[in-house]
Amino acid sequence: MQKKDIGLALLVLAVGSVVALINPRFLSPINLANTANLIGLFGLFSLAEAFVIVTAGIELSVGSLIALLGVLFVDLIVVQGVPWPIAALIVLACGAIFGTIHGWLITRLQLQPFIVTLCGLLIYRGVARFYTKDGTAGFSFGDDFPVLEWLISGRTGGVPHSIIAFSIIAVIAWFVLHRTVFGRHLFAVGKNEEAARFTGINTRRVIVLAYVICAVLTGLSAIFFAMYTRSIHPASHGNFYELYAIAAAVLGGFSLRGGEGSVVGVVLGVILLQVLQNLVNLLGIPSSLNFAVMGSVILIGVIADTQITKHRNSRRQAAALATIKGATPQPQSLPE
């Protein structure tokens, strides 16, 4: 675990303790389970976004994809009568296709990721609304998919399956990003694409794969959201989720310049954002202030991070100066 992650973990604990002190209901099993469920749901696509951000890219179509793929999933199983496992595979495959297209446009046609995925954001949202004739796609009263519902929105021993899925995928993502050759290549490409190319890394393939992974995970997230909300209003379903994902990644130490960040950080970022949301609800803060609270905490977090780094460097320098000036080396006041 990196130092940054520890700081963030402490912040999560601090905010959690404050909320728990003020309103003990925070720790009630119902509230914890609900919060955990939301962490799982929002965590899936935040992890997805991290894969793209680490390559110095950005994926803005996450929210729209969740709407479009969600609508598609519901339509397939409810209207077209496709068995749900096949429908799920189709949704994931569509995600893979969209991701490939994004990656192809970015690496082959050299378009900027921001522009490509901004267009995706607009296109997928529009298509989703057209697909349902701007109506709501959902399950009607009689529809019954017991296995699917248990699997996606059920609980085991009170633990929502969404957070179990999120945990499994976070562990896999951690392994992929921090322990595999592919993960190393992602960081290398994000840090300096030219040097990566000179080292024999197929940078185009790495970048395309990042977008594919992102879109497939977003597809998975779309299924979870479809089963969670049970009815999808394509004009608003998943709105702003991409910004939420970017916020979680940035809180977790990812740099938008690429090549930096850790999965532990994103996970903590997601948890912090959900705890804040919960704080707004439990402390009776008007819910209209929701985004304002989130924005302020992110801003404070980022400022604190840069200031701490600065302080640490200047302290190191002072210690170095003391040693060459012949004085007895000052004992380090705090472990670095």
Partner 1 sequence: MPPTYWSQLLPSGFQKISLELSKVTKVYPGVVALQDVDLSISGGEIVGLIGENGAGKSTLMKVLGGTVSPDGGDIHIDGQHRSALSPAEAGSLGIAFVHQELNPFSNLDVTANVLLGREITSGPLRLLDKRAMEAKVAPILQLLGTRFGPADPVSGLSLADQQLLEIARALSMNARLVILDEPTSSLTLSETERLLSVMRQLRSRGVAVLFISHRLSEVEDVADRVVCLRDGRNAGDLTGSQICKDAMVRMMIGRDVHQFYEKTAHGVATPILSLRGVRTSTFPAASVDLDLHAGEILGVAGLVGAGRTELARAIFGVDALSEGMIRLNGTELKSHSVPEAISAGLSLVPENRKEQGLLLDFPITGNISLPCLKLLSRLGVVDRERETALAKDSQARLAIKTSSVFQTAAELSGGNQQKVVLAKWLATNPKVIIFDEPTRGIDVGAKAEVYHLLQALAREGVGILMISSDMEEVIGVSDRVAVMRRGHVTGILNSDELTEENILRLAVG
Q: Nearest approach, Cβ of 169 to partner 1 (angstroms)?
A: 17
| Region binding partner 1 by CB under 8 A among candidate stretches 141-149, 194-202, 229-237, 280-288 | 194-202
Taking residues 199 to 218 in sequence order and writing x for each that binds partner 1 by CB under 8 A, - otherwise, the string is xxxx----------------
Contact 249, 94 (CB under 8 A): no
Query: What distance in Å separates the CA atoms of residue 104 and residue 163, rounded to the nearest whole number?
Result: 32
Q: Looking only at residues 237 through 266 of this chain, which bind partner 1 when binding is defined by CB under 8 A? A: 259-260
Q: Does 321 bind partner 1 (CB under 8 A)?
A: yes
Judged by CB, which is closer to partner 1: 56, or 76? 56
Q: Nearest approach, Cβ of 260 to partner 1 (angstroms)?
A: 8
| Region binding partner 1 by CB under 8 A among candidate stretches 121-129, 140-148, 276-284, 312-320 | 312-320
Q: Nearest approach, Cβ of 206 to partner 1 (angstroms)?
A: 12
Instruction: Name residue 160's beta-bridge partners.
Output: 155
Q: Does 174 bind partner 1 (CB under 8 A)?
A: no
Q: Does 311 bind partner 1 (CB under 8 A)?
A: no
Cβ atoms within 10 Å, residue 226? 27
Query: Could you tell me how many residues of this chain bind partner 1 (CB under 8 A)?
Result: 29
Strand (E) or helix (H) holding 261: none
- For the chain, the farthest-separated pair of C-alpha atoms sits apart, in whole angstroms, at 83
Q: Does 332 bind partner 1 (CB under 8 A)?
A: no
Residue 100 tokens read as 């490939």
Residue 285 tokens read as 């803060």
Q: Does 175 bind partner 1 (CB under 8 A)?
A: yes
Listed in sequence order, the residues at least 6 apart from 195 whose beta carbon sits closer than 8 Å to its beta carbon are: 188
| Region binding partner 1 by CB under 8 A among candidate stretches 3-11, 62-70, 113-121, 181-189 | 181-189
Q: Does 129 bind partner 1 (CB under 8 A)?
A: no
| Sequence-separated contacts (24+) of 238-242 with Cβ below 8 Å | 238/62, 238/63, 238/64, 238/65, 238/66, 238/67, 238/70, 239/63, 240/63, 241/42, 241/45, 241/62, 241/63, 241/66, 242/49, 242/59, 242/60, 242/61, 242/62, 242/63, 242/117, 242/121
Residue 80 tokens read as 């077209």
Using CB under 8 A as the criterion, which residues of the chain lie in contact with partner 1 when the complex forms? 175, 179-182, 184-185, 187-188, 191-192, 194-202, 259-260, 313, 316-317, 319-321, 324
